Amino acid sequence: MNEQQPDRMPEPHTPNDQPDEAGNKTETAPPQNRRASVARSASIVSLAVMSSRVLGLVREMIFAYFFGASKSLANDAFVIAFRIPNLLRDLFAEGALSSAFVPVFSDHLVNKGEKAAFRLSNLVATALIVLLGAIVLLGIIFAPQLVAAIAHGFQSDPEKFALTVRLTRIMMPFILLVALAAQAMGVLNSRDRFAIPALSSTFFNVGSIIGGVLFAIFLVDPTFSHPFRSIIDNPTDGIIGMAYGVLIGGFLQLAIQMPSLRREGFRYRPELSFTDPGMRQIFKLMGPAVLGSAAVQINVLINSNFASSIVNPATGLIDNGPVSWLSYAFRLMQFPIGVFGVAIATATLPAISRSAALKETDDFRHTIAGSVRLAFLMTIPSAVGLAVLSRPIIALIYERGGFTSIDTDHTAGALTFYAVGLAGYAAIKILAPAFYALGDARSPMIFSIASIATNFLLNWSLRDVLQERGLALATSVSALMNFALLYFTLSRRIHGMEGRRTAAAVAKILLASAAMAAVCLVLSIGIEKAIGHRFAARAINVSASVAAGAAVFYFAAYLLNVEELKAATAAIRRRFLKRS
């Protein structure tokens, strides 16, 4: 393994730069500086993730235009086929692997030095290639059984079932690519490098959009004479091209991070040892974390299973649409979760991992509590806005081509009920990894299992009553329950989580969000009555309502003295003045 130092100027030695027992310098900034760096790092990640989420929405708009929702079986088949490697990604890559790998890698950096940390990274990468390579092969072989298990309703339509199996086999290698990308992200984040890893998902979307559309055109119209119309007219062939686009995007997500890894001094050397103490520690954390970090995705998978068998009350038959309606709605949910929840969690994890390694409980407590409040500041108004403006937002983004007004109604209903749990989804991203940093993987696993069981029971109870909206509501309730269990358990574990301060902040944020909701609702209804439903009218409606709502929320929260808002405003002002 190459021990080359990172390509950057050496920093002067300070009392906080402590050599470890091997002579490697480790940088341990003062606690107050680490807490401040979380907000700065979160802002970097947030901008990068926002770029990815915007492109993700563009990708969904392309799917909606070409394949619709209830128009054909193509999009339902793709959603289920992609759900399988996407679930494995959350189970073994971006969720469990990141939560288990970053604390152990950070501990190695702090206490054992770069050489030991990079060796651990090589061991993890080789293990991923071996283990996930085998899972990919098994997934390809047993794709029919997998599809039957997660979308049993598709078996009533042989054509849809066969297409889903074919798409699953094409996209299974995605899990290996994205797992290696997640591990690379963990290394870079532990080195306080956030921008490039956060941008990697942007490159996934770029690759999947451009590569997918080009493959789709090639499959349906090799002459490129009427490319887009050919996809619309041949959705089942076109969707296969989009599946190949997923693999292209996964490769780019990994490749974009490799130069940064090399600059940090990392060189991959195949090495495999499941008995290494660091590997054993990662597996010890990762086993329970498989469930502890992926409850939301497992619940979404359960939703898809129930949605695959929703019966149209008018016809008494299983129709196309419910699986896609839930998928389109959850994509919009992932925007604020990614921009705020994942960004804050990504920036928080290395900081709390270092605090845990250095036994700084007070710093750990303040960092976690502040991160949760910051997540609530961003996600509660987002949830209210999505619920109030669900229909105009869905119509603006998706309603064209194969996506009809009926699809808009159903997707908007699902989005409203998904929004109920938005703050819970985001907070789980922050709280679950905190347990792993403390070496406790059991508690998140238990709470996650309880959440999954609750979601299943609610799905079973609400599917026939509220159809896809009931499935979305079940997931939201389960997420809020999971958050509550994590929050109060962690609070007892670390002797408090600044509960009164957090409760006061949430109350103020809810009041400001209520004022925002009233303004958004009145303004949206008025604009719709005045200028109608055409695309330009929808764009004006959403833009004006969101802008007015954001302004009302900001001033209401400022007048209510929400500390997190004022701190963020002050930080932005200082940065602006510094650059000026």
- Residues whose CB is less than 8 angstroms from the CB of residue 420 and which lie 6 or more positions away in sequence, other chains included: 383, 387, 473, 476, 477, 480
Neighbour tally for 225: CB within 10 Å: 8
Q: Which of 8-12, 186-190, 425-429, 474-478 is modeled with the greatest confidence? A: 474-478
Three-state SS string over 473-517 comes to HHHHHHHHHHHHHHHHHHHHHCCCCCHHHHHHHHHHHHHHHHHHH
pLDDT (0 to 100) of residue 575:
56
pLDDT (0 to 100) of residue 322:
85
Q: Is residue 400 helix, strand or coil? A: coil
Q: How confident is the model at residue 384 (pLDDT cuts 50, 70, 90)?
A: very high
Contact 326, 414 (CB under 8 A): yes
Smallest CA-to-CA distance from 200 within 393, 405, 346 is with 346
Task: Indicate whether 473 pLDDT > 90.
Answer: yes
CA distances from 28 to 20, 143, 207, 390 (A): 11, 48, 38, 45
Domain boundaries, the chain: 46-268+279-309+316-497, 499-580
The pTM of this model reads: 0.69
pLDDT (0 to 100) of residue 533:
76
- Where is pLDDT greater, at 139 or 49? 139
Mean pLDDT of the chain: 79
What residue type is 356 in one-letter code?
Answer: A
Mean pLDDT for the stretch of residues 377-391: 90
> In this predicted model, what pLDDT tens digit does every residue of 139-170 receive, in sequence order?
999 999 989 988 888 888 888 899 999 999 99
Smallest CA-to-CA distance from 190 within 433, 16, 18, 442 is with 433
Q: How confident is the model at residue 570 (pLDDT cuts 50, 70, 90)?
A: low
> In this predicted model, what pLDDT tens digit does every residue of 533-555 receive, in sequence order?
788 888 999 999 999 998 999 88
- Where is pLDDT greater, at 273 or 79? 79
DSSP state of 19: E
pLDDT (0 to 100) of residue 345:
66
Smallest CA-to-CA distance from 310 within 150, 418, 154 is with 154
Mean pLDDT for the stretch of residues 55-66: 86
Neighbour tally for 23: CB within 10 Å: 8
Lowest mean pLDDT across 159-168, 198-207, 484-493: 198-207
Lowest mean pLDDT across 3-12, 33-42, 158-167, 465-474: 3-12
pLDDT (0 to 100) of residue 578:
58
Q: Which of 220-224, 321-325, 470-474 is modeled with the greatest confidence? A: 470-474
Mean pLDDT for the stretch of residues 481-506: 86
Task: Indicate whether 255 pLDDT > 80.
Answer: yes
- Report d(CA 417, CA 73) in Å as an integer: 25
pLDDT (0 to 100) of residue 18:
42
- Where is pLDDT greater, at 295 or 458? 458
Mean pLDDT for the stretch of residues 21-29: 42
Mean pLDDT for the stretch of residues 294-306: 77
Contact 308, 467 (CB under 8 A): no
pLDDT (0 to 100) of residue 36:
47
pLDDT (0 to 100) of residue 85:
82
Q: Which of 32-46, 101-115, 405-419 is modeled with the greatest confidence? A: 405-419
Query: Percent of the chain scored above 90 by pLDDT?
Result: 20
Query: Percent of the chain scored above 70 by pLDDT?
Result: 80
> In this predicted model, what pLDDT tens digit does every residue of 445-471 receive, in sequence order?
888 888 889 999 999 989 888 888 999
Contact 75, 319 (CB under 8 A): no
- Report d(CA 240, CA 78) in Å as an integer: 8
pLDDT (0 to 100) of residue 247:
93
Task: Indicate whether 127 pLDDT > 80.
Answer: yes
- Report d(CA 367, CA 352) in Å as an integer: 7
